Amino acid sequence: MLSASPSSINFGTAAPGNNVTQLAALTNTGAASVSVQQISASGTGFAVSHAALPWTLAAGQSANFSISFTPTAGSTSSGSVSIVSNAYDSSLSIPLTGAGASAGILSANPTSNSFGSVQVGSSASQYQSVTNSGGSNVSISQANVSGSGFSISGLSLPITLTSGQSYTFSTVFAPTCSGTATGSIAIVSNASNSSSTIALSGTATASGQLLLSPTTLDFGSITVGQNKSLTATLSTSGSSVTVSSASTSNPEFSLSGASFPLALAAGQSAPVNVTFTPQSSGTASGSISFSSNASTTPVVEALTGTGVAQHQVQLSWGASSSSGVTGYNIYRGTVSGGPYSKINSALVVGTTYTDSSVQAGQNYFYVTTALNGSGTESAYSNEVQATVPSP
């Protein structure tokens, strides 16, 4: 007597094209030997594999063979394995069932990308996803982009998407010339819709121009350690412009009044302040470069100025011999013999004074007076002359 184990086989649901295999065993459960002459499978997708027949099985002996199932997409199959032998039950059957998963289906979201208006020299990005909405894995092998200025980013191929899985990447429009542009992304895969296309479109607008007025700032002569600020104006024409940064070539010139990036709409203007702080005497020159996405970049502001040394006159005198002197006043004139003007804001208690309010190339004449505790002021001292060098 011959028995089969298992007595029936259900392969479940398998991916289309995949070969699923299970083992079955035939056992001689009788007392006499059995000869197995034929093992065959029926039903779509089912097959058997075994050693050459006939087999002779002694009492209690078993032999194994393989049953495979190769489904097609979305199918349900049934069949059987028939065993022919000289046993009492000479025709033995093992029922078979199985199903094929639905084919992989690739869908895109969105199905088209419209970038609107993008300025030449700039770029715009949009997210794009593809999803396997079928029941079987989908392998994407290619993504071919067409159309001027279009590209993709973040998609490394090949990739495999399981059922329900999505993958997101970026589509980019970076036009190099003005006008309307169209293109597409052609995705090649093993999905049932093996070629999927995503439409691309955009309009490239001409680059804006960045204007600077004036193009040169001359600060004139500034005393070393002091500073002076002048204003320039940035403006645009044509299209909007984004000024990304500004750099100064000489640290004696500094920029303020604007933060970057600075977005200017077409026709809009913005003031910027430039300050000159000379660190030493002599002529200084430099520039400020404004970088942007304009058609010509950078735009440069030329800078010049002269640092003038800070002059001082050091005065000293002998102490008054009068008793009760509490301090001194210092008087200055530009003509010998006066008139004189007092230049100290507070009574000078020592016998030295520094006059820092002098001008280059000028002659000055100084006298002092002494004051006692009651506020009585003496006559002028003898006059001394100081000539300030130029510059």
Chain-wide mean pLDDT for the chain? 93
Confidence band for 380, pLDDT divided at 50, 70 and 90: very high
pLDDT band at 57 (very low <50, low <70, confident <90, very high): very high
pLDDT recorded at residue 390: 78
Residue recorded with tokens 């002269």: 306
CATH architecture label of 106-205 = Sandwich (2.60)
All CATH 2.60.40.10 domain ranges in the chain, comma separated:
2-100, 106-205, 209-308, 313-387
3-state secondary structure of 280: coil
Give the pLDDT confidence of 346-373 residue by residue, as tens digits. Answer: 999 999 999 988 888 899 999 999 999 9
pLDDT of 132: 95
Question: Residue 318 has what pLDDT?
Answer: 93
Of residues 332 and 193, the one with the higher pLDDT is: 332
Calpha distance 314→88 (Å, rounded): 137
User: What percentage of residues in the chain have a pLDDT greater than 70?
Assistant: 100
Could you give the C-alpha distances from 364 to 60, 299, 357, 382, in angstroms and in order?
135, 48, 11, 14
What would the mean pLDDT of 253-272 be, rounded to a whole number?
94
Confidence of residue 66 (pLDDT cuts 50, 70, 90): very high
Write down the architecture of domain 209-308 according to CATH. Sandwich (2.60)
pLDDT of residue 142: 96
Question: What's the pTM value of the predicted model, to 2 decimals?
Answer: 0.51
Please say if the pLDDT value at position 145 is more than 90.
Answer: yes
| The architecture CATH gives domain 313-387 | Sandwich (2.60)
Q: What is the pLDDT of residue 88?
A: 84
- Order the strands of the 138-146 sheet from edge to edge: 112-119, 195-205, 179-189, 138-146, 159-161
C-beta of residue 72 within 8 angstroms of C-beta of residue 19: no
pLDDT class of 172 with cuts at 50, 70, 90: very high
Residue 391 has pLDDT above 80, yes or no: no
Q: Which CATH architecture is the domain 2-100 placed in?
A: Sandwich (2.60)
Q: In what order do the strands lie in the sheet with 209-213?
A: 209-213, 228-237, 269-276, 253-256
Could you tell me the end-to-end alpha-carbon distance of the chain, in angstroms, rounded to an integer?
Answer: 128
Q: Counting Cβ atoms within 10 Å, is residue 335 exposed (0-12), middle (13-18) or buried (19+)?
A: exposed
Q: What is the pLDDT of residues 188-210, one digit of tens each?
A: 999 988 889 999 999 998 888 99
Phi-psi map region of 88: left, alpha, beta (phi>0 left; psi -120 to 50 alpha): alpha
Banded pLDDT at 98 (limits 50, 70, 90): very high
What share of the chain in percent tops pLDDT 90? 79
Instruction: Tell me the mean pLDDT in the region 56-66.
Output: 96
Work out the pLDDT band at 281, boundaries 50, 70, 90.
confident
Residue-wise pLDDT tens digits, 16-35: 878 999 999 999 999 999 99
Which amino acid, 27?
T
User: Interior CA angle at 21 toward 15 and 24, to 5°?
Assistant: 145
Encode pLDDT of 100-111 as tens digits: 988 899 999 999
